[in-house]
Amino acid sequence: MSHRSIDPARLLGRIAELGAIGRDAEGRLVRLAASDSEKLGRDRFVSWLEDAGLEVAVDRIGNIFGIWNGVGGGEKPIMIGSHIDTVINAGIYHGCYGVLAGLEVIQTLKSEGFEPRHPIVVAAFTNEEGVRYAPDMMGSLVYSGGLDVAAALETVGTDGTVLGDELARIGYAGSHAPGFMTPHAYVELHIEQGPVLEREGVPVGAVENLQGISWQKVTIDGDANHAGTTPISMRRDAGYAAARVITFLRDRAKASNTPTVATVGCIAFEPNAINVIPSRATFTVDLRDPDEDRLKEEKNALAAFLELLSAEEGVGVSVERLARFEPVKFDQAIVRQIEVTARDRGLACKRMTSGAGHDAQMIARIAPAAMIFVPSHGGISHNPKEFTSDTELVAGANILLDVVCGLATGELPR
C-alpha cells in the first residue's frame, strides 16, 4: 500500500482560488476560452507552475505545459492534466480539478525526491468547452494532429472574435508546434459529471471508454402564415415538424436497451412570433453511443425519419454536420493500474464509460491514455451546484499520484 499523499490543503486551496477567478458582475464563473477572464486563470496557473520550479511551455494553439524533466530528459513524458476554461455559470471542479491535481502530483513527487524515469508534464488544454469557439476539445484535438493549427487559429467565435487574435491579445499565442512532446502515457483525473458513482456508492471510476459523438444542425423550411386563419391541414409548419423530430429521438432512445442518448440542445424559430406559423426551425442534434456501429445506426435512423418527415409535412430539410468523434477505447493496462491502485488504497473501483467528451479522447490518438473519475454529487456538472467532497477530491488525486508513479518508473504493465 502506498504511503505517499498529496498535500490536501494546497490542492483544495488552489481549486477554491481558481474557482474565484473569472466571476462576472452577477457572481457567475465565466472563463470562456481566450477571454480576459480566462487570461487571469491562465496567469495564475502559470505562476503556480513557476513557483513549483517547472519549465513552462505554450504551443501555438495556447495549450500550457508545466514540464518536470526529472532524471529522464530523453524519454517520452507522462502527461497529466485537463483544462481550465469553463462554460457560462460554471462549477469550480470540472476540468480544473484534473489540472490542479496534476500539478499537485508533480510537486509532491519533487518534494519527496522521487526520480522518475520519464519526465512528467501537467497540461492545461485550450478551449475544451467549445462555448466561444467550435469545436470543443480544440486544443487537444490540434495537439494530437486531428485539426490543423492554422485552421483552428482562424476560427471565428460566437462574439465575432478570431481565436488566434485573442490568444495573441492575452499573451498565450505560444511558439511551440502542437504535438512537440509525444506522451509515453496520458492520464486525466476528472469529476464524473454523472450520477453513477454516487448512486452505486463507489468512490472511484476507471474509465475504459468514451462515447462516440455526432453533432448535427438541422434546418426545416416551411411557410409562414396566419396562426388563426390557416387550417391545420393546409400548414407547412416548420415548428411542428421540429417537434416531431424531438419526439422521435426521445422515443427511440427510451425504447432502446442500449446506452444511446439523443439531445436537442438548441432550437430557434423564424419569424418567432406568437401569431405566425414558423417558416423555419433550426436546431441541433447531439447523438452519443460508445459503440460506433450503433452510433451510425442512430444517424441513419434520423436521416430516414427526416426524409419521411419532409414528404409527410411538405417541408424542406437540410442537415449540416458540426462534429463527429468516434468512440474511444482507453488503454487497458492503464485502466488496470487505476483499479489496482484504488484497491491498494482500500477503495472500491468501477469500470465505466464516460458519456462526456474529454481531452483524453484526443490524446488517445497519439498515446496510451485513460481517465480516473470521482463522484459528482447529484450527477450535476456545468452548473454552480457542481460538487465533489474534499475527501473524494483528495482520494482521486492520491490515486493519480500512485498511477503516475507506476508509469514514470517503468513500462506499462500488460
- Binding-site entries: 83, 129, 190, 382
Q: CA–CA separation, 92 vs 392, rounded Å?
A: 15
φ and ψ of 262, to 5 deg: -140, 135
**Residues in binding site for Zn(2+):** 83, 129, 190, 382
SS (H, E, C) the chain: CCCCCCCHHHHHHHHHHHHCCCECCCCCEECCCCCHHHHHHHHHHHHHHHHCCCEEEEECCCCEEEEECCCCCCCCCEEEEECCCCCECCCCCCCHHHHHHHHHHHHHHHHCCCCCCCCEEEEECCCCCCCCCCCCCHHHHHHCCCCCHHHHHCCECCCCCEHHHHHHHCCCCCCECCCCCCCCEEEEEEECCCCHHHHHCCCEEEEEEECEEEEEEEEEECCCCECCCCCHHHCCCHHHHHHHHHHHHHHHHHHCCCCCEEECCCEEEECCCCCECCCEEEEEEEEEECCHHHHHHHHHHHHHHHHHHHHHHCCEEEEEEEEEECCEECCHHHHHHHHHHHHHCCCCEEEEEECCCCHHHHHCCCCCEEEEEECCHHHCCCCCCCCCCHHHHHHHHHHHHHHHHHHHHCCCCC
